[in-house]
Chain A
Amino acid sequence: MNLENNKEEHWDLVIEGKTSLFDLKFADIWRYRDLLLMFVKRDFVSFYKQTILGPLWFFIQPIFTTIVFTFVFGNLARISTDGLPQYLFYLAGITAWNYFSDCLTKTSTVFKDNANIFGKVYFPRLIMPLSIVVSNLVRFGVQLVLFVAMMVYFGFQGANFHVTWAIALFPVLVLLMALMGLGLGLIITAMTTKYRDLSFLVTFGVQLLMYGTTVIYPLSAAPERYRKLIELNPMTGIIEAFRYAFLGKGYFTAWSLGYSAIFTAVITMIGIIIFNKTERSFVDTI
């Protein structure tokens, strides 16, 4: 009996009030990977159920945005597109930007949207934002197909663009966009559990940020005195690199992308840590 008591007992799980900031439970997330895929499937299936056009909706939004942008910024405002066909130029920017902004806005309401399910059952909370990023990746993939189809069409028309070696960096660019959206979204959602004000900021904040990023204009066309500021926006480096990779025009250096990568890594780290800290007891405050 005594021996039994003296022996250091093994516990599978210890639930405590305070845990280390860096206890991020990645093993747990890995164990729940099936759930992540299940959520992705759910998002996808529920998106087009009972719609007539179904997955076609994935195309409609970028096509119409491109047409409007071409008309407003290209034809009316006559903003330069670095000599690229306008449709291709805008579609490239929109496709990439949409992925980032969808990740950001959807992640930023994770706690609010899932308060009910989070309040009833435990699973690693990070699964939910991760599933959002992956669902949007599927959507991004579909939109990318549209973009490539447009490239092929314009290629046959003999338009002036070319794919560069930087296309090899494409997976890195996607990862950076995903993590940047995720990290910022996590920070915002964690803050909104207490301070709801932030959620109002997100919707128009993302819109404003788009104009601060080189989505509707190339960096080369930016006025000299604002150029530094626009370059400081970490999304600029990513979007420019994306355009350079696919269309051969854009401001792309190791520095610009390196800066974006470091920025993204820091934001993601902060986001995950804050999220994990909030996740433990947000049910009490939401």
Chain B
Amino acid sequence: MGKNIAIKVENLSKAYQLGQIGTGTISRDLERFWTTKIRGKEDPFLKIGQTNDRTVKGESDIVWSLQDINFEIEQGDAVGIIGRNGAGKSTLLKLLSRVTAPTTGNIKVKGRIASLLEVGTGFHPELTGRENIYLNGAILGMRKKEITRKFDEIVAFSGVERYIDTPVKRYSSGMYVRLAFAVAAHLESEILIVDEVLAVGDAEFQKKCLGKMGEVSKGEGRTVLFVSHNMGAIKELCSNSILLENGLISEIGSTRKIIDSYLTQNNLGLKNLEYLKLDKKVRRGNGEIQFSKITINNGEEFQEPNKKTIIKIQLKKFKEIDQIYFCLQIKNVEGNLVLLDTNLLEVNIANFTNQNLLNFQLQIDANFFRTGIFPMYLWVGKKGGLLGDNYSYDIIDSLMHLNFVSDLGINELGYDFQDPNSYLNLNIKLDYHE
């Protein structure tokens, strides 16, 4: 038996027009019409194709969000799609879910596709939970009798039985999302496409969602495509992954390998940081003291939150300094600060035995970490620090990360994401030096 392909993508490209649409469109449309339809030539506005690199200013106002994508997905496979913001993940999902049409190329599909680019699409606030289940189900492609058959199951999964005949505008946002995901989770499609919808709801429910998706792909043998920034979730759910970079496929393979590539691509994957040259691009500070070596838990790949996490740090001193201040902050994969040590850690280095290479060790009590990858921001400097490069000796930003495997649910960190002042205080202790 040959492979059973569920999705086959061939030479898929999608071009977007940059800049304002509206002014001058009629004349441009006429020009386009003249060259392509009357004279039968190539579209002049598509010719100068460019890869989607936002950092470089392009010459044309057409940008290829996806360019010449080819891949196949086997039936029953759960595939993760990984890439930085703007790599083309969302565009790919939009094309697969037929929200917009490709510029060139095609996608061939076996079976019904259900896509979840958002939970609760088409929910009407005035309608009751019951009415919205029917409406949303129908929008997602279910027949009425199919919804009726699954109705009790959906309500049970959502856990909002009591409010099912209340208009959803009275729901809490959590209940709303629960109900919406419950409908989507009960779609009977051979292929399920999921965009980061799990970033909502409480931890318990997210666990339930992930569990349901795992059940869908492993238990029922349905094909799942999953886009997320959450490497933990992708690792848990997907056996294979596709890495996109600037609209091109940069790698396809096992999830573990792809995540490694992604992290290296983003300079996140270093476990042991050996002496780095003072490269202005990645390091800031005056360089009077520099990080020369950093090791997390002796180089183990994963950290467990219920154990102590030990970070060994070696600094190289270039100038006579007695007192240094140290700070460790934790970011999420998107680069936002999530944990902050509000007090700078004061280290008296005058009594260190080795005065050229300063070795010491930090201990993080991190029992509240969820599964996932957390880039670290390491700072060493003078008192009054963090304010500017004048106070900083050296900064290593997002070159290393903590990789937690935890029993806690996705996104569970024990603080309010919305409130920038509610950083949980990371308990860092200096526990050893030589």
A interface, CB within 8 angstroms of B: 1, 4-5, 9-17, 32, 34-35, 37-39, 41-42, 45-46, 49-50, 116-123, 194-196, 280-281, 283-285
With both beta carbons as reference points, the residue of chain A lying nearest to B118 in the complex is identified as: A120
B127-147 interface with A by 8 A CB criterion: 127, 131, 134-135, 138-144
Known: A15-B102, A34-B138, A38-B134. Contact between A121 and B121, CB under 8 A?
A: yes
Q: How many residues of B contact A (CB 8 A)?
A: 50
B126 within 8 A of A: yes
**Pairs A–B under 8 Å by Cβ, sample size 13:** A9-B108, A10-B110, A11-B8, A12-B111, A13-B109, A15-B106, A35-B138, A38-B144, A50-B126, A122-B115, A194-B29, A280-B101, A283-B99
User: CB distance B124 to A42 under 8 Å?
Assistant: yes
- Of listed A39, A42, A284, residue having the most chain B CB within 10 A: A284
With both beta carbons as reference points, the residue of chain A lying nearest to B140 in the complex is identified as: A121
Measured between beta carbons, the chain B residues less than 8 angstroms from A1 are 2
With both beta carbons as reference points, the residue of chain B lying nearest to A48 in the complex is identified as: B126
Q: Given the complex of chains A and B, what is the CA–CA distance between A185 and B122 in angstroms?
A: 22
- Of listed B1, B16, B95, B141, residue having the most chain A CB within 10 A: B141
* Contacts between the two chains (Cβ within 8 Å), count: 118
User: CB distance B26 to A195 under 8 Å?
Assistant: yes
Measured between beta carbons, the chain B residues less than 8 angstroms from A121 are 97, 99, 115, 117-118, 121-122, 139-140
Q: Given the complex of chains A and B, what is the CA–CA distance between A10 and B8 in angstroms?
A: 12
B interface, CB within 8 angstroms of A: 1-2, 5, 8, 16-17, 21-22, 25-26, 29, 94-113, 115, 117-118, 121-122, 124, 126-127, 131, 134-135, 138-144, 167
Q: Given the complex of chains A and B, what is the CA–CA distance between A62 and B122 in angstroms?
A: 31
Q: Given the complex of chains A and B, what is the CA–CA distance between A189 and B124 in angstroms?
A: 23
User: CB distance A284 to B16 under 8 Å?
Assistant: yes
- CB-contact partner of A123 in B17, B103, B139, under 8 A: B139
Measured between beta carbons, the chain B residues less than 8 angstroms from A38 are 134-135, 138-139, 144
Q: Given the complex of chains A and B, what is the CA–CA distance between A34 and B98 in angstroms?
A: 20
Measured between beta carbons, the chain A residues less than 8 angstroms from B1 are 4
User: CB distance A194 to B109 under 8 Å?
Assistant: no
With both beta carbons as reference points, the residue of chain A lying nearest to B190 in the complex is identified as: A12
User: CB distance B2 to A5 under 8 Å?
Assistant: yes
- CB-contact partner of A194 in B21, B97, B100, B105, under 8 A: B21
- CB-contact partner of A118 in B96, B99, B144, under 8 A: B99
User: CB distance B101 to A281 under 8 Å?
Assistant: yes
User: CB distance B121 to A120 under 8 Å?
Assistant: yes
Q: How far is the CB of A196 from chain B (nearest CB, A)?
A: 7
Q: Given the complex of chains A and B, what is the CA–CA distance between A4 and B26 in angstroms?
A: 50
